[in-house]
Amino acid sequence: MFKFVKQYAESIDGVNIYPMISLVIFFLFFVVLLYYVKKMDKAKVNEISRIPLDENEQLADTLIQNNLKQV
């Protein structure tokens, strides 16, 4: 399968530019993402970072309430 793709890609004029375009897009995406994260409000970052812990606390509270009802 790869052999077919390689032969087909070699026949395309200017195919060597596509890996460079992909690298530039990849790099720009992460630079923009890094900029966005650096500019985020610290309170919002703290709130987002607490989401998994808050869900676990709610789940634990629900389990405890269910166990108390059964007793």
Angle at the Cα of 29 from the Cα atoms of 20 and 12, rounded to 5 degrees: 25
Contact 17, 23 (CB under 8 A): no
In the numeric block, the tokens 């987002």 are attached to: 48
Q: How far, in Å, CA of 7 to CA of 4, rounded?
A: 5
The reported pLDDT for the residue numbered 19 is: 87
Tens digit of each residue's pLDDT (9 = 90 or more) over 30-69 = 999 999 989 989 888 888 887 777 666 666 666 566 666 6
| Residue 71 pLDDT exceeds 60 | no
The reported pLDDT for the residue numbered 68 is: 62
Angle at the Cα of 17 from the Cα atoms of 12 and 23, rounded to 5 degrees: 135
The reported pLDDT for the residue numbered 10 is: 77
| Residue 22 pLDDT exceeds 60 | yes
Q: Using CA atoms of 55, 57, 60, 65 in order, give the dihedral in degrees to the nearest 10.
A: -110
